[in-house]
Amino acid sequence: MNPGDAIFVAGHRGMVGSALVRLLRARGFDHLLLRTRAELDLCDPAAVRAFYAKEKPAYVFVAAARVGGIWANATQPVEFLSENLRIQLNLIDGAYEAGVTKLLFLGSSCIYPKLAPQPLHEDALLTGSLEPTNEPYALAKICGVRLCQAYAKQYGARFISAMPTNLYGPEDNFDLELAHVLPSLIHKFHLAKTRGDASVTLWGTGSPYREFLHVDDLAEACLFLMEKYESPELINVGCGHDLRIRELAELVRQTVGFGGSIAWDSTRPDGTPRKLLDISRLAALGWKPRIKLEEGLRSTYAWWLNHDSGVRSI
Ligand code: GFB
């Protein structure tokens, strides 16, 4: 990649896309193609085709998606399946038609079967049933991976796919109901601290494990892969270790400085019991993350405080 190359970051307003934009700018890439939803509706095939034809990007990062936490996934299956399928189909088909040099598609660790052996190796894809709370999102992402592989196999396209673990960081969605666990917990503990509540109620049992990667580390990995990885085989991006949700809750409680207790609402879903990624494929290429969870939590809480509530609809 050269500094003047036209790079399309699809989804640049989201947590992942905005981290990519920060990194690309810091590395001197100054020809970034960025479009808000109002400027370019990624669900509209004709609009996406016209954009590609006019702007002719050399590189495309597919960071656009409808995303959300366990509750959003479980209660909005139509949007999570339909919108994600349409967005990625338009972006991937359009990239091939426009002769894009290279494309990186972002999936998710939830594409792997619910009960696959841990840590989750890339070869576990499609070896078992999915976790029901996020099956629609996972199905869409699996289609995206397979479409990139099909373009690579049939037409020799340089379309690669990275599977990140659970992400967090600046520009995340901190909604109390619809967000992922880490930003939701920051919001919940902060509210409880401010109001002087005695207790905070979290979802499920607290016993599932999750792995968390700071989005700035993910952005580094994406750029690394765009520059160095040529295989159509998907590649996991994680930090290599996980913790129980109740351990995460304790860390967030301390970071925010809430002195009360934690209650668990078992009427809310736990989701998959564990989804620790096997990151040996990426590690063998020489990449590793930098940001420790404690440090990332502190900086994400500080970011959220400085950016008001950070709550936005998804
Ligand atoms: O991050 P999260 O919403 O989604 O939830 P997933 C992770 C775990 O945190 C679950 C628990 O066991 C939740 O029950 N949890 C406890 C909470 N309290 C809360 C809370 O206040 N809010 C939330 N959100 N969770 C998502 C998928 O799965 O992971 C997406 O649904 C995507 O499709 C994403 O793949 C990476 O980790 O279960």
The model's pLDDT over 168-210, given as tens digits with 9 standing for 90+, comes to: 999 999 999 999 999 999 999 999 999 999 999 999 999 999 9
* Per-residue pLDDT, 189: 98
Any domain includes 313: no
Structural domains in the chain (count): 1
Give the amino acid at 169: G
Model pLDDT, residue 313:
40
Q: Please report the atom of ligand 1 found closest to the CA of residue 69.
A: 3
Quickly state the pLDDT bin for 55 (edges 50, 70, 90).
very high
pLDDT tens digit sequence for 110-144: 999 999 999 999 999 999 999 999 999 999 999 99
- Rounded Cα distance, 289 and 305, in Å: 25
Q: Quick one: pLDDT at residue 140?
A: 98
Q: How far apart are the first and last CA of the chain?
A: 32
Q: To the nearest whole number, what is the mean pLDDT of the chain?
A: 96
What span, in angstroms and rounded, lies between the C-alpha atoms of 83 and 80? Answer: 6
CATH number of the domain that residue 142 is part of: 3.40.50.720
- pLDDT at residue 104 above 80? yes
Sheet (strand 7-10) strand order: 32-33, 7-10, 59-62, 102-106, 159-164, 235-237
Residue having the nearest C-alpha atom to atom 3 of ligand 1: 69
pLDDT score, position 308: 63
Q: Rounded CA gap, 304 and 246, in Å?
A: 22
Name the pTM for this structure: 0.97
Mean of the pLDDT values across residues 23-37? 98
How confident is the model over 71-96, as pLDDT tens digits?
A: 999 999 999 999 999 999 999 999 99
18 touches ligand 1 (CB under 6 Å): no
Residue 314 lies in a domain: no
Catalytic machinery residues: 137
Furthest CA-CA distance within the chain: 61
pLDDT of residue 309: 58
Q: Is residue 312 part of a domain?
A: no
Residue 195 burial (CB count, 10 A): 7
- Cα of 70 to ligand 1 centre, how many Å? 4
| Cβ pair 169, 305 in contact under 8 A | no
Q: By C-alpha distance, which of 252, 103, 115 is closest to 174?
A: 252
Q: For 258-285, how does the pLDDT look when each residue is reduced to its tens digit (9 = 90+)?
A: 999 999 999 999 999 999 999 999 999 9
Identify the CA nearest to 128 among candidates 143, 111, 140.
111
- For residue 47, the enclosing domain spans 7-307
CA nearest ligand 1 atom 16, residue: 203
Residue 137 in contact with ligand 1 by CB distance below 6 A: yes
Residues 6+ apart with CB under 8 A from 222: 20, 61, 104, 106, 162, 237
Instruction: Confirm whether 170 is domain-assigned.
Output: yes
> 181 C-alpha vs ligand 1 centroid, how far in Å?
5
Cβ of 181 closer than 6 Å to ligand 1, yes or no, is yes
**Distance from C-alpha of 235 to C-alpha of 212, rounded to nearest angstrom:** 17
- How far is the CA of 95 from the CAs of 7, 44, 102, 259, in angstroms? 12, 14, 9, 51
pLDDT category at 236 given cuts 50, 70, 90 is very high
Mean pLDDT value of segment 16-42: 98
Does a structural domain hold residue 201?
A: yes
- The residue whose two tokens read 């990625």 is 88
Whether 183 lines ligand 1, by a CB cut-off of 6 Å, is no
Beta bridge partners of 59: 7, 102
Q: Is 25 contained in some domain?
A: yes
If we measure between CA atoms, which residue out of 182, 156, 153 comes closest to residue 250? 182
What is the per-residue pLDDT for 102?
98
Q: Does the C-beta of 73 come closer than 6 Å to ligand 1?
A: yes
pLDDT given at position 314 = 39
Q: Identify the burial level of 53 via C-beta atoms within 10 angstroms of its C-beta, where 0-12 means exposed, 13-18 middle and 19 or more buried.
A: exposed
CB of 204 closer than 6 angstroms to any ligand 1 atom: yes
Please tell me the distance between residue 205's alpha carbon and the centre of ligand 1 in angstroms.
12
Mutate-to-test residue for ligand 1 from 203, 236, 274, highest number of ligand atoms within 8 A of CB: 203
CA-based nearest residue to 258, from 212, 201, 307, 181 = 201
Q: What is the DSSP letter of 13?
A: T
